[in-house]
Chain A
């Protein structure tokens, strides 16, 4: 029996899938934070190249992947689709579990799928340097890898707490030639302002975003690059789902359930959008699409569908999305990549329309699932990816009860080799199960003055 379903390099998708083409009505536009009016391409051109701004707003169904980008993606793509047969046997489930494995990229996650085209389009626009932020370092290392291939410079503002405690990711960035600074730095006005207030601050993603955006806005040769949330990022990630659909078709399968973890939403989008498109077009109306988020930061399950800022300081355009409020600081869960107050507007829209649904899970049960997966399938998953595994196992166990032989597809978005200290905390019983006190937050918000 086959364990892996491979595609040849020639079978790699040549076009990204743009789900905006199949939405029943257009997405609500991003709003300029100062005027409250829909943002124009000009609002974004200070920090993004025109081709990415065009993709952000594009309405055509497919967008060609440039050959130079294909050439680099071929280092690890197409990624394998695995049948998790040992996991199925362990669970004694009649369900068939398949997973896409994105941990084989040089940076170890799905992030290079968008880092490479973003670097490419910026270099085509004459940009010599990219600035970005990173929390635990997944995105920063992916962009460092991508810029190295286009002989660009790369400056990464890494949240200081992670910089001090997770040395390996910053060393990867150094190997690929990027500069990595512990944020806040004294290189930017926003960083200096924070340091003046609190010299010992551990930093935050919100501060790091502000520094990277400021760096890009104040240097003519520099643009900003974002690793999730935005439409063009989701677009670039659709290679995951497009490949998976091909791979499953080659063995005459189509999933009943598609699962991915959700932080900003890009790996979930990349996995699910091709299937969500089939659902929207009516060819597979029953496919169950599930985004899995941490109970500590339950944006899709408990957030509000509203316009909100993408960053803490309120500098970015306002996006229509599920949000817990831009000032919500998620607890320090080990799946750092899922600590985001908002969500991709596209993913949010699909959840609001009922095309996809969301569940939330607790940290310890996520690591239970990660351990089960590692002991059956061998791969030690990143804590983020383990959220998807948790729900895949839950669906498979449900099948054991009902006797249904569902076909489950989930995205294993990365390996956990640099996250082993979080496994250590799990084994030591030091992993809190963070929760979101929705009722009390509602009570607290009801006392605030209403803002029009």
Chain B
């Protein structure tokens, strides 16, 4: 038995997570009662138990909330060493999720394991920020944030990894459910948190060897873009920690969740709105837009990123887009999704996007639209005869 990387884990289950998806509601925010009335069965407590089962007998200490918010899942998983430090309301709410996470922090937990979807991730992130790492057991309708284990089985493999935990930054993505139900897809970067990862589970050994360290890769990307910045050109930097590596290199600050602008090595605008940006472009028409790949699903241009409106994109020029991402992030992202809100612009992006992954290095990634299947091998002769084999 490996020595677990974490000693005291806070477990919180959103008992109604995933309910909405089963009955076609595209999310459960504010609609749990309606989902239950439509006949949805709560699945999250069982999924949590499945994920936690392999941790029983590992010596990990568990703290949780009583009842469906964690206690029942832990008992079903065969965990004896658990302590309930919070009593939620019935029915429980997002306030309970935030409160129990604050209680975990106070009790000295070194990891929060939550079971739910993007909404739950948002609540956990609001409560703990980057104070301790968080890891999601996937059970929601939407899981665009990059804090979820690939499947419930991966949870124990990550936690039981030998040695100190390998932590990376991960984005918590907000999807506007109201708009989504109306057929519109709006995403925003809600927070950046820390999450444990097990690179071996998702990457080829060779890649790990040469490209292991996310931090090193981010610094290399930051140094490369900083070196490539030309005089008299406006550089608009999108949200995220990878773009922040550029301003770090320049000795400037960065709005983590917003858009900033750099001209000739100086920060000339922070946390810009669309109209701020259009005004800047009036004075500095020669511009580049630097964006990083966000979340687990590879969004590069989300319709809801208000700042990156079709007008902003056309003014800058879609060919003036500089995409950046660490190799680790790209390895977990088979396709990039482009959704500018303007189909002409979407098509102008083309079938492939170039993504800067290090100092002077890049990868070409296939572009997919939301809901598309992964792209087939692109060559004609590969499609001639053996497509039927799948």
A residues near B, CB below 8 A? Answer: 90-92, 161, 165, 202, 295-296, 328, 331-332, 334, 362, 364-365, 368-369, 371-372, 375, 393, 397, 421, 425, 428-430, 432-437, 440-441, 443-444, 446-447
* 10 additional A-B residue pairs with CB within 8 Å, beyond A433-B364, A443-B230: A296-B361, A368-B379, A368-B381, A435-B363, A437-B362, A440-B225, A443-B227, A443-B228, A447-B227, A447-B228
Bound Cα distance A397, B224 (Å) = 38
Q: Which residue of B lies closest to A331 (CB)?
A: B361
List of B residues within 8 angstroms of A91 by Cβ: 381, 384
Q: Are B224 and A430 in contact (CB under 8 A)?
A: no
A244 to chain B: closest CB distance in Å? 24
List of B residues within 8 angstroms of A368 by Cβ: 377-379, 381-382
Q: Are A443 and B384 in contact (CB under 8 A)?
A: no
B52 to chain A: closest CB distance in Å? 28
Bound Cα distance A242, B379 (Å) = 33
List of B residues within 8 angstroms of A161 by Cβ: 206, 209-210
Bound Cα distance A372, B224 (Å) = 38
B232 located at the interface, meaning its Cβ lies under 8 Å from any Cβ of chain A in the complex: no
Q: Are B364 and A295 in contact (CB under 8 A)?
A: yes
Bound Cα distance A91, B379 (Å) = 12
Bound Cα distance A328, B357 (Å) = 14
Q: Could you jot down 11 A-B contacts, CB within 8 Å?
A: A91-B384, A328-B360, A331-B210, A364-B377, A368-B378, A368-B382, A428-B204, A432-B327, A434-B364, A435-B354, A436-B362
Bound Cα distance A397, B380 (Å) = 9
Q: Are A441 and B377 in contact (CB under 8 A)?
A: no
Bound Cα distance A430, B330 (Å) = 10
Q: Which residue of B lies closest to A433 (CB)?
A: B364
**Category for how many chain B residues contact A:** 35 or more
B207 located at the interface, meaning its Cβ lies under 8 Å from any Cβ of chain A in the complex: yes
List of A residues within 8 angstroms of B22 by Cβ: none
B37 located at the interface, meaning its Cβ lies under 8 Å from any Cβ of chain A in the complex: no
B212 to chain A: closest CB distance in Å? 9
B205 located at the interface, meaning its Cβ lies under 8 Å from any Cβ of chain A in the complex: yes
B297 to chain A: closest CB distance in Å? 15
Q: Are B228 and A444 in contact (CB under 8 A)?
A: yes
Given the interface pairs A161-B206, A432-B330, the reply to whether A369 lies near B384 with Cβ below 8 Å is no
B331 located at the interface, meaning its Cβ lies under 8 Å from any Cβ of chain A in the complex: yes
List of A residues within 8 angstroms of B230 by Cβ: 443, 446
Q: Are A440 and B210 in contact (CB under 8 A)?
A: no
Q: Are B364 and A435 in contact (CB under 8 A)?
A: yes
Q: Are A444 and B378 in contact (CB under 8 A)?
A: no
B82 located at the interface, meaning its Cβ lies under 8 Å from any Cβ of chain A in the complex: no
Interface centre among B210, B229, B322, B362 (most CB of A within 10 A): B362
Choose among A295, A369, A425, A440 the residue that contacts B379 (Cβ–Cβ < 8 A): A369
Bound Cα distance A402, B346 (Å) = 32
Give B315-369 interface residues, CB cut-off 8 Å to A: 322, 327, 330-331, 334, 352, 354, 356-358, 360-365
Bound Cα distance A397, B204 (Å) = 33
Choose among B225, B331, B377 the residue that contacts A432 (Cβ–Cβ < 8 A): B331
Q: Are B381 and A430 in contact (CB under 8 A)?
A: no
Bound Cα distance A441, B75 (Å) = 57
Bound Cα distance A397, B352 (Å) = 22
Give B191-234 interface residues, CB cut-off 8 Å to A: 203-207, 209-211, 224-225, 227-230
Interface centre among B211, B327, B360, B385 (most CB of A within 10 A): B360
List of A residues within 8 angstroms of B380 by Cβ: 397
List of B residues within 8 angstroms of A430 by Cβ: 203-204, 207, 331
Q: Are A440 and B224 in contact (CB under 8 A)?
A: yes
List of B residues within 8 angstroms of A362 by Cβ: 364
Bound Cα distance A90, B378 (Å) = 17
List of B residues within 8 angstroms of A443 by Cβ: 227-230
Q: Are A437 and B356 in contact (CB under 8 A)?
A: yes
List of B residues within 8 angstroms of A365 by Cβ: 377-379
Q: Are A433 and B365 in contact (CB under 8 A)?
A: yes
List of B residues within 8 angstroms of A371 by Cβ: 382
Q: Are A165 and B206 in contact (CB under 8 A)?
A: yes
Give B151-202 interface residues, CB cut-off 8 Å to A: none
A198 to chain B: closest CB distance in Å? 12
Interface centre among B203, B229, B230, B363 (most CB of A within 10 A): B363
Bound Cα distance A331, B357 (Å) = 10
Q: Are A332 and B224 in contact (CB under 8 A)?
A: no
Bound Cα distance A328, B358 (Å) = 12
Q: Which residue of B lies closest to A87 (CB)?
A: B381
Q: Are B381 and A433 in contact (CB under 8 A)?
A: no
Q: Are A441 and B379 in contact (CB under 8 A)?
A: no
